[in-house]
Amino acid sequence: FHTGDIIDTYTDVEQWECAQRNFGLVPKNVMSLYLTGNHDVGFTSADYSYYYEYFGDGEKVLPGGNGGIYNNGKAQYILYSTQNCDYIFLGFGWNITEGMVNWAKDLLETYSDRVCILMTHSYLDTDATLTSNGELLYDGIVSTCPNVALVLCGHMHGTAVSVSTFDDDGDGTAERTVTQILADYQGES
């Protein structure tokens, strides 16, 4: 799983070619999600054309996965089961919209029996507070969908952890814990 910033400068063809070669080493039957970050699509432009050219906008986005995509891969999910648990891995690229959140809420209701691992580019800051994208996801999905158990993100240079508890059945006792982790080592030497 990759939470975005696959490359540094989204218009640099050499960087995309290098990323395509290296990510191409992952066997096609390996479940994987490659989410976009602001460096992959532009901070304000959200230009997905280079990402689509080098990583695809459909089947290539979900190699080896049993899942689906929203809006040409701007959000993606994979269903995966082990002997002991059924999962839904849910990923959001850069520039999250209300439409993406609504799509995900419907998806998590459909697969309410699966544990959700949510991944996105921007969610936590280095002081473990929520970014604006994080607030949108927290309010729209994390706090309201009882199957969300873990959130992974990048974007901010550093690491942070935040733990939230939720009383999903309204009995006054929190029965769900969601761990939220920022891991972005691009500033490390």
Show the low-confidence residues of the chain (pLDDT under 70): 57-65, 187-189
3-class DSSP state of 84? coil
Residue 57 pLDDT: 61
pLDDT for 189 equals 55
pTM for this model (two decimals): 0.92
3-class DSSP assignment, residue 181 = strand
pLDDT of the residue at 187: 67
Given this model, what pLDDT does residue 156 score?
92
- Give pLDDT, residue 5: 92
Q: Which of 77, 80, 57, 81 is nearest to 67 (CA)?
A: 77
Residue-level pLDDT at 62: 54
Provide the terminal-to-terminal Cα distance of the chain, rounded to the nearest Å: 22
Neighbours of 15 (CB within 10 A): 18
CB of 111 closer than 8 Å to CB of 120: no
Distance CA 26, CA 32 (A): 9
* CA–CA–CA angle 31, 33, 38 (5° rounding): 165
